[in-house]
Amino acid sequence: MAGKLAQAKAAAAKAAAPKPLSEQLLEMSLVVAQLAVVIAAATRYRFESPAFQKSLPWIGVAVVAHHFLPQRYRMPFFTTISMVSVVYVLGIGPAGFDIASALKQAAPLIGMGLFLIALCHLPIAYGVRVALLFATGGFFMYARGGTVFDGALASVWPLLAAFFMFRLVIYAYDIQHEKKRPPIAQTLAYFFMLPNAFFPFFPVVDWKNFGRGYYNDDALRIYQRGLQWMARGVMHLVFYRIVYYHFYIDTAQVADGASLLKYIVANYAMYLRVSGQFHMIVGLLLLFGFNLPATNNHYFLAESFTDYWRRVNIYWKDFMVKIFYTPVAFRLRGRGAILPVVLGSAAAFVATWFLHAYQSYWLRGGMHFSAQDSIFWTILGVLVMVNAAWEVRKGRRRSLSKKVDWRDTVSSTLGTMVVFATMSLLWSLWSSPGVSEWLAMWQHVDATFFGYAVLTLLIVGAVKVTVTVTAPWRGGLIYGNTPKGANIRQLATVAVITVFIPMTLIYVLGDQRVHRRVDAKTKFILKSLKSNQPNTSNLRSMERGYYENLFDASSSNFLDSGIQAPPDWVDFPDMPLVELTGDGRYWTLTASRSEVINGYDFSTNAFGMRDKEYTLEKPDDVYRVAMLGSSHLMGWGVNDGETFGAIIEERHANERPDGKRIEMLNFGVGGYSPVCQLAVLREKALEMKPDAIYYIAHAVDGALAIERFARLVQHQIPLEDPFLNDIVERAGLTTSMSQLAMQRELLPFAEELVLGSYKKIVELASDAGALPVWIYMPRVPERDLHREPIEKLIAAAKEAGFITFDLSGLFGDTEVDDMVMSQWDMHPNAPGHAMMADATIEAMRSDPRLGFSKESEAR
Amino acid sequence: MPSPEDVKATIKTYILEEFLPGEDPDELTDSVELMTMGILDSISVMQLVSFVEEKFDCSFDAHELSVDHMNTLEDITKLVTSKL
């Protein structure tokens, strides 16, 4: 015992002794090397916003500079770069950084922030200060609605909210009990903290933890934890993309037991994005010396509901405990052991439910109280309360040592499986578009569902056992707790295992040279990990969002942090040139109008086409092509004359060997599906006597067909074609059903709907003597990621009798950002349309049947 | 008035019996971070406070139920003795 004590004292003395400069430099070099590899991996995979990606290397430089500053300058330095990051984020726009715009927005943001902080320090009674804060917050909330400043501060509110909406409450509460006023640099650092400008969904940090943790340990140990947390963040975000691109489906895609389970588990796993972000944010703060507690730590492996509540977002939990749970439970102490805990927990969960809607209001501009929110928080709250009461009565397993006890391991593993199953179910409900939609999915429960469910839980259990059993061996590694006084060799071992190996592997897997050497399926998966674009489900949702703002299954979760369009952005259905038709097209463009939409000239001709004027009668010397398609063909996101159809006509008008001038008639309208194309052909295109029909298809045509068709049925629009009425009857659609319910019933008929429409288009075209041509036109973000729906569409087009072309890969290896109109709208820009035009004319020349090659002249 | 050592011993015994049954008392040193390590959480700290208030006839403030004041045996002893 005495020997052990002596050893411990010697180790403590060694740890406390200042390290030689050479050793410090060596250790810092190790930190810099790890930081470099983490940044390399994060930027290669383009995680999160472009502003964050561009800033990461500079943040890395700032970390090193910060470390070598004298201690007293570190906090002011961090505060300064935090402020700079705010200005940078506010000034970055589609055209790059604009300092004037940045300062114009940063000034009111910082001004309002300083005003709120000043209110907290007014030398008046605490109650009056709180009342003033409420009044000011209330006014800001009212102004957030856009009525006071006429939307001029639209970009400012989400950041102001991220910095102040919760932290101000914590700050006002904590400083009330502090004996001395905190340094101004620390206060500013707390509110404007660096990563927050890039990640607005990180609103809560405890003021006490923030101040208490600042360099409260050996700097290298804090940095090492930060690096390991960042590395884990990168891994979470990679896993998130695997889930997002390969497992996530929306409710309309649930067709059997297996897909139901996939929906449930994948929705829960989508939280990896939030935990990945939180790891990155906290990791970055640790690199600046803020030794904050671990968050989102093994939350999938929580072994009870209270354990889940403690693990999943400890910062939020601490906030709730401090402001709601403790005051309520403390006031009730002495009234038995259980009542204070239960009522305190109830207060925390009611507050959590309300504050999520409050947060949603600040960040999105609208208060969202849904039935799913209420049910989710009520059930989780009740589970935690019951669990807490159980812990008060029976106690819970705690230990000072890391010894593995098999009985505890078994019980905790069973607990993990129950919590995982329950949370997955709750999460799927929370993320669903509606309670009735969620309930309707359960009609698909079958033996396969239970089989896969048991398998999933066994896998979760196996992971839990592995993590528990290896905990003593892993020791501090996984938590970043390198031993105090560790030498450079020990530090290097930790760094290699926890940062260098995983980050290097992830970095290498993102290299195109690796992609070229693997089979197509592996390449497909590896490329998807580097994508930061919406998946097939969300692409469809996104288009619906732009066109109708409907069926956005993912938007019910406030944690989804997609890039938002500016407040003055006009979505397609809201633009002044759209009118309803009452037929299978549902809507069309108003004829002979000219507007500026989102900064682009948008004009229609006398026939309601986004095109120049044509005569109804086809001139003798003209070869007329009627192009059918949706928003890409219509040219959403480019000026008049920049659509790929217009480019083909302008550049290749005289290319036909028979000497006829080419006319490319643009019948494209945003949101059109195969059934709409059939209607537009019948209603408009055939009237203009085309020589050929070019059908421009996208990968989502099948899914879109269901959705648009359901809308037609719901609006009781007469269906001209018997095969459509037949599908309505066989799918059992009734007008009392919601559109979403109809879509689910139509799911088995998707291919039939597409094929039927294609066949009818070919029939009508052939009857009119027009050549039916079908062209698969990829959308910029999807590239070649989703081959299966494309192959199905190509097969359907061939079976219908089209001459088919597959233009997959036309965008090559060009950067997505260079080809799309904006980060919030993935429609192709003018260079994108030029590439589409080149690929289309190439295809037209390649097949003699189209009459654009010398060969065709000979024929 | 109980001495700080008596206060500490009473609190240590309570923690060992209520929250760490079967643990080696020597492992629970003065500097073990009870709240940071999760031995004391928002539920158990409320139980501990109720016990201490009754045992030593003292009164806590709600904001004192935090890591700042109750993370270690040493912290808790200091807080309690300051109220006696």
Tally of CB atoms within 10 A around A71: 10
pLDDT at residue number A700 = 80
CB contact under 8 A, A208 and B39: no
Of A212, A337, A398, nearest to B39 by CB-CB distance is A398
Q: How far apart are CA A135 and CA A139, in angstroms?
A: 6
Q: Do residues B42 and A321 make contact, with C-beta atoms less than 8 angstroms apart?
A: yes
pLDDT at residue number A545 = 26
CB contacts < 8 A, A to B, total 67
Residues 6+ apart with CB under 8 A from A780: A811, A816, A819, A820, A826, A827, A828, A832
In 3D, which of A230, A128, A241 has the Cα closest to residue A176? A128
Tokens 């406070």 belong to: B49
Q: How far apart are CA A374 and CA A167, in angstroms?
A: 24
- pLDDT over threshold 50, residue A810: yes
Of A325, A391, A400, nearest to B27 by CB-CB distance is A400
- pLDDT over threshold 70, residue A808: yes
pLDDT at residue number A755 = 95
| Interface contact A293, partner B, CB < 8 A | yes
Q: What percent of chain A has pLDDT over 90?
A: 54
CB contact under 8 A, A321 and B62: no
Q: Which residues of A touch B19 (CB under 8 A)?
A: 395, 398
Domain segments of chain A: what residues? 618-854
- Reported ipTM: the value is 0.93
Query: Which regions in chain B score pLDDT beneath 50?
Result: none
Domain segments of chain B: what residues? 4-19+30-83
Tally of CB atoms within 10 A around A816: 18
What are the tens digits of pLDDT across the range A355-400?
988 888 887 666 777 888 899 999 999 999 999 999 888 888 787 7
pLDDT at residue number A147 = 67
What are the tens digits of pLDDT across the range A173-195?
999 988 888 999 999 999 999 99
CB contact under 8 A, A392 and B47: yes
CB contact under 8 A, A398 and B20: yes
In 3D, which of A212, A588, A264, A270 has the Cα closest to residue A457? A264
Of B18, B20, B42, nearest to A400 by CB-CB distance is B20
Number of H helices, E strands in chain B: 4, 0
Rounded to a whole number, what is the distance in angstroms from the first to the last CA of chain B?
7
What are the tens digits of pLDDT across the range A446-464?
999 999 999 999 999 999 9
Tally of CB atoms within 10 A around A64: 13
- The CA distances from residue A585 to A580, A588, A672, A710, in Å, are 8, 7, 7, 13
- pLDDT over threshold 60, residue A783: no
Q: Which CATH architecture has domain B4-19+30-83?
A: Orthogonal Bundle (1.10)
| Interface contact A327, partner B, CB < 8 A | yes
pLDDT at residue number A574 = 80
Q: Do residues A146 and A365 make contact, with C-beta atoms less than 8 angstroms apart?
A: yes
Kindly state the tokens that stand for A451.
Answer: 């089989």
- pLDDT over threshold 60, residue A682: yes
Looking at chain A, which residue has its C-alpha nearest residue B53? Answer: A334
Q: By three-state DSSP, how is residue A166 classified?
A: coil
pLDDT at residue number A18 = 64
pLDDT at residue number A17 = 59
Tally of CB atoms within 10 A around A771: 17
Tell which B residues from 10 to 39 touch A, by Cβ distance under 8 Å. Answer: 18-21, 23-24, 27-28, 32, 36-39
| Cα angle: A571, vertex A575, A578; to 5 degrees | 115
pLDDT at residue number A536 = 56
CB contact under 8 A, B66 and A330: no
DSSP secondary-structure letter at A193? -
Rounded to a whole number, what is the distance in angstroms from the first to the last CA of chain A?
100
Residues 6+ apart with CB under 8 A from A685: A626, A628, A665, A667, A693
- The CA distances from residue A83 to A39, A189, A389, B80, in Å, are 22, 9, 45, 42
Tell which A residues from 214 to 273 touch B, by Cβ distance under 8 Å. Answer: none
- pLDDT over threshold 90, residue A231: yes
pLDDT at residue number A549 = 30
In 3D, which of A199, A204, A202 has the Cα closest to residue A173? A204
pLDDT at residue number A11 = 52
Q: How far apart are CA A61 and CA A57, in angstroms?
A: 6
* Average of per-residue pLDDT across A567-576: 76
- pLDDT over threshold 60, residue A478: no
- pLDDT over threshold 80, residue A515: yes
What's the mean per-residue pLDDT of chain A?
86
Q: How far apart are CA A717 and CA A702, in angstroms?
A: 20
- The CA distances from residue A50 to A61, A96, A199, A478, A532, in Å, are 18, 11, 12, 30, 10
Q: How far apart are CA A846 and CA A853, in angstroms?
A: 7
CB contact under 8 A, A388 and B39: no
Between residues A27 and A753, which one has the greater pLDDT? A753
What are the tens digits of pLDDT across the range A812-857?
777 767 788 876 678 899 999 999 999 999 999 999 999 887 665 5
Of A321, A333, A401, nearest to B49 by CB-CB distance is A333
Q: Which residues of B touch A176 (CB under 8 A)?
A: 63
Which residues face A776 on adjacent strands? A697, A806
Distance in Å, alpha carbon of B7 to nearest chain A alpha carbon: 21
Q: By three-state DSSP, how is residue A466 classified?
A: helix
Q: By three-state DSSP, how is residue A695 classified?
A: strand
Looking at chain A, which residue has its C-alpha nearest residue B45? Answer: A326
Q: How far apart are CA A320 and CA A312, in angstroms?
A: 13
Q: How far apart are CA A658 and CA A219, in angstroms?
A: 78
What are the tens digits of pLDDT across the range A239-262?
998 998 888 888 877 889 999 999
Confidence of residue A475 (pLDDT cuts 50, 70, 90): low
In 3D, which of A284, A312, A297 has the Cα closest to residue A222? A284
Distance in Å, alpha carbon of A217 to nearest chain B alpha carbon: 14
pLDDT at residue number A557 = 31
- The CA distances from residue A800 to A646, A766, A788, A794, A803, in Å, are 28, 12, 18, 10, 9
Distance in Å, alpha carbon of A335 to nearest chain B alpha carbon: 10
CATH topology of domain A618-854: Rossmann fold (3.40.50)
Range ranked top by mean pLDDT from A149-153, A589-593, A700-704: A589-593
pLDDT at residue number A184 = 94
Give the lowest-confidence range in A41-55, A587-601, B52-66.
A41-55
* Average of per-residue pLDDT across A645-656: 88
Residues 6+ apart with CB under 8 A from A132: A119, A122
DSSP secondary-structure letter at A618? P
- pLDDT over threshold 80, residue A402: no
What are the tens digits of pLDDT across the range A331-349?
998 888 899 999 999 999 9
